[in-house]
Structures are given as structure tokens and as C-alpha cells.
Amino acid sequence: MRELPRLITGRLVLRPFDLTDGPIVERLAGAREVADTTLTIPHPYPAGGGAHWIATHTAAWERGNNLALAICDNMSTGELLGAVSLQVSPVHAHGEIGYWIRLSSWGQGYATEAARAVFQYAFSHLHLHRVQGRHFARNAASGRVLQKLGMKYEGTQRDAYRRWDRFEDVAVYSVLAPEWALLSNSRLASHPTNAEADKETME
């Protein structure tokens, strides 16, 4: 069986979800403000829906088309802060990053830190060539996460999706493997302490 990875950064542990996380996922991701920034998270989140979602993770990872990890505080409490995912197309060697953070932890850089670790894993372990990220154009905070990661803006798809009876413009960003290597080397050279704290390690 192909085991889901466990990644560690300076402040976070990215671990496989457990079925017992289900009710917490329902409460945190199901908050209106959080669900509103995503395409598919329901609001209200139905009882049992969290565990049902978590139960799909192992099979999706074994098929090689999706990685989903819990974003947790790298402290003794290990509180669940959110989730990060990578949809993978092995044929095309590309992936798409996704994430959500609980409302009380917005604005603290957790999405950027978690995504950076997943990017490093995607390029160094999965050998992807391209990773893209998309966000609703009205969600400027998510755009800043992708910009901080060094991704390049490719354009905006007008009225690309409908969410809660409203058509949404979607901004598209991407980074290629050679670009990520340069970004990683530049970050290490400019801020060696921060880079060491943020880099992805595996247990």
C-alpha cells in the first residue's frame, strides 16, 4: 500500500487525515466564510460528510491522482488548522494546489507555508513539471498566497464557474519545475534561516 506522506515545516505538520477528524472538518470547513472561498465545500457541511470525504483519501493517493493532508499546528496540541491538497495528472506531470484554513487562523501565513511544503514534495518526490493554482478573483487573500509562492499569473477566466448561483471569475497562476528550483535556491541564499524553517521534511 502506498502510504500518504507526512511533511513537517517550521510551524506545521502536514499529516494524513484520520476519520476522527471528520466532525472537526465539518465545523471548520463548513463555516460560511471558509466555504465561500472554495468551489465545492458545502455550507452547511452535512453530518458525516467529513468522514466520508476523508475515507476517499487513501484510494485517491494510491491511484496517484490526489494528495490531501491535514494542516496541523506543530506543537504538542497538534490542532487542526485546515487542509491542503494536490490534484495530480501523472500523464501530463502537472498538479493543482488547493487549500483552506480555519477562520480563526486566517492571515498568519499558514496556507503559504503548507503550500510551499507540498510544492517541494510535488517537484522533488512526484517529479511534476508544473503546478498551478486557481482562486476566485474576488478572493484577493488567496491570490497573495500564490504570489508569495512565486507563481506566475497567467490570466483570469471570466465567469468560469458558478458558485451558489453566482458566476465567478477565476484567476490562474502556475510555476514550473525549473522556476521552483531557482526560487528555492534564491530563498535559501537570501534568507537561510527562514528557508530552513519553512522547508519540507519527511518523517
Residue 160 lies in a domain: yes
Domain of 67, in residue numbers: 7-202
Residue 86 lies in a domain: yes
| Joined grid coordinates for residue 81 | 488548522
Number of domains in the chain: 1
Strand order, beta sheet including 94-101: 152-163, 166-176, 130-136, 94-101, 80-89, 66-73, 12-15, 7-8, 201-202
Residue 187 lies in a domain: yes
Beta strands 66-73; 12-15: pairing state: antiparallel
> Which pLDDT band holds residue 145 (cuts at 50, 70, 90)?
very high
101-124 confidence digits (pLDDT tens): 999 999 999 999 999 999 999 999
- Which SS3 state, helix, strand or coil, does residue 6 take? coil
The one-letter code for the residue type at 33 is E
H-type helices in the chain, by residue range?
22-29, 32-35, 49-54, 57-63, 110-124, 140-148, 177-190, 192-198
The model's pTM: 0.92
Q: What CATH number is associated with residue 196? A: 3.40.630.30
- For residues 134 and 145, the answer to whether their CB atoms sit within 8 Å is no
Residue 2 lies in a domain: no
Residue 1 lies in a domain: no
Residue 188 lies in a domain: yes
39-93 confidence digits (pLDDT tens): 999 999 999 999 999 999 999 999 999 999 999 999 878 999 999 999 999 999 9
160-183 confidence digits (pLDDT tens): 999 999 999 999 999 999 999 999
Residue 164 lies in a domain: yes
Residue 183 lies in a domain: yes
Question: For 148-168, what is the mean pLDDT?
Answer: 97
Peptide bond into 23 cis (omega under 30): no
